Structure 1
Amino acid sequence: MRKLINRLLGGRQAMQGKAIVPQVAAAPRVPEANHFDIGLKDAGYDGWYRVDSGELYEGFAIRAEDVVVDVGCGDGGCALFCANRGAHVIVADIDAAKVAATTQRLSGTPAREVQGVVSDANPLLLPDGVASKIISMEVLEHVDDPAQFLRELVRIGKPGAQYLLTVPDPVAEQLQVGLAPEVYFQKPNHVRIIQRDQFEQLVADAGLVIERHSYYGFYWSLWWLFFWVCKVDLADPQHPLLNSWTRTWEALLGSPQGSLVRQRMNALMPKCQAIVARKP
């Protein structure tokens, strides 16, 4: 730090009879970083995308005999994992373009069958008891009526069906207030911040039995805070601050006690919370 301060100030030297003008050196260029690759690696430590065990998330295994419904599929990352396991995959989203793109993305996979449904989930255009695995990631914070939305998810599940539900964690969300653009907390984006106990209550009230409630993604909590102030394009988020943070986290993941630090930070300020639940 001392060397950095000296460099930024150009090594001030008093010169008799002359004004002292600090010479500010150019900030060192931080190499570009692949933020999303590091984020994916971090997710693996948190229990995501376990190819060897077939678990999309720890405790949520996908098998070829499963019928999986991904509600709010977005770009289809989770659906792709399930398709590669040979499952029958149904992707649903309010955005017709995303449904079309995701079904096309899955068309060359080992999936038994791929279907696309354009729906706002009020109601879901699917029959009762169709699915053995239901996924809904980062959707509840968007919908007008979370209880109604969950009822639809429960309706389409078979008895014994398993659910993977995620929402942003309230700690990270609250920190973004005043930093994120106002539209971040406006419809059709995040219209509510879901507290941890509230999330559990919503799931239990829908008639599901909670098997696991976990927290992950501290890396992304800070990344997004930095992203808002860097004002760069999300398609190519290269900035010295973001790159430094990603390189720091990458170094931590490779350090002897990195796992312990990561677990502690996930408990303190996770980006997301996840519930794995089952329909009785």
Structure 2
Amino acid sequence: MLSLLKKLTTGTPAPAEPVAEKVDPYMLGLHDAMLSGWFNQQTGELFTGFPVTPEDTLLDVGCGDGGNVHFCGMRGAKIIIADIDAAKVEATRQRLSDTPARGVECHVTDCNPLPIADATATRVVSTEVIEHVDDPAQFLAELVRVGQPGALYLLSVPHPSSEDLQKDIAAPEYFRKPNHIRIISEEQFKAMVSEAGLEVLSHSQYGFYWSMWMLLFWEAKVDFSNADHPLLNHWADTWQAVLNSPRGAQIKQALDAVVAKSQVIIARKP
């Protein structure tokens, strides 16, 4: 009996459970955005309903880190970027240097007015900018002025469901100039675009993942450039598991419809 117990207790140990790779919250966010219609390599659409071709001249106003225009540069379009932040303009210019873009034109500007001729662009992009500007009507008028007849517009602003959720939790400066100085309802957004003289083709929303991530980000009190915290890491793990589940896409769609980080309008200039 003793020899049997010894064999049972000193035998080959059970294999260790494999250690799961850490989920990168930003790469997961990119994957989530692609599931929502962004960066479609197969169709060449920056967002669903917004194709970009080598024949296009694409203007991105408020280019930020250049993710949108890099996709468009890879499509071979001529790229024009404009942003108030000179460092972001330069970083985006460098990022575009490895793309087959037909040309790259850069402007450091507050966009009031845009230093661009009338009817220049066939595609106009401005994402998460209107909530920052003092006069949205004037800003949109400039975007409309520089678009050619028939030009397509891709415009986005934060969705009020996410903004309202963060009101009492976000850092106070989040809702102060130069950050978000207004919360724009769905009706207001559509009215702004229509009153600027554009035809609204589609209006959608996405980003439950990022809404929850931002909520936890404020609680974690970490730097945005190095947002490493158990709250954020556990949320990324959870959302990855949701997306990997049999009905993950259905669950994502349902949650995006309830609390969304952004609302997106595709419009056309008559």
Report the TM-score, using the length of structure 2 for normalisation.
0.91
Q: How far does residue 238 in structure 1 lie from its aligned partner after superposition?
A: 1.6
What residue is the counterpart of 2:213 in the other structure? 223
Q: Which amino acid aligns with 2:186?
A: R
Distance 2:109 2:191 in 1: 25
2:70 is aligned with 1:83: no
Q: What SS is found at the alignment partner of 1:89?
A: strand
Counterpart contact for 1:99–1:117, Cα < 8 Å: yes
Distance 1:115 1:153 in 2: 16
Q: What SS is found at the alignment partner of 2:224?
A: coil
Counterpart contact for 1:62–1:87, Cα < 8 Å: yes
Unmatched segments (≥5 aa) in structure 1: 1-29
Q: What SS is found at the alignment partner of 2:144?
A: helix
Q: What SS is found at the alignment partner of 1:56?
A: strand
Distance 1:233 1:131 in 2: 37
Q: Which amino acid aligns with 1:98?
A: K
Distance 1:100 1:41 in 2: 26
Distance 2:109 2:69 in 1: 17
Bigger drift between 87-96 and 238-247 goes to: 238-247
2:45 is aligned with 1:72: no
Counterpart contact for 1:214–1:274, Cα < 8 Å: yes
CA distance change for structure 1 residues 199 and 240 in 2, over 3 Å: closer, same or farther? same
What residue is the counterpart of 2:148 in the other structure? 158
Distance 1:173 1:160 in 2: 33
Report the TM-score, using the length of structure 1 for normalisation.
0.88
The sequence identity of aligned pairs, in percent, is 54
Distance 1:118 1:66 in 2: 22
**2:257 aligned to which of 243, 267, 275:** 267
1:167-225 CA-to-partner distances (Å, cap 9, x unmatched) read: 00011001111211111011100000001100000000000000000000000000000
Q: Which amino acid aligns with 1:54?
A: G
2:168 is aligned with 1:178: yes
Q: How far does residue 33 in structure 1 lie from its aligned partner after superposition?
A: 3.1
| Total equivalences in the alignment | 251
Q: What SS is found at the alignment partner of 1:235?
A: helix
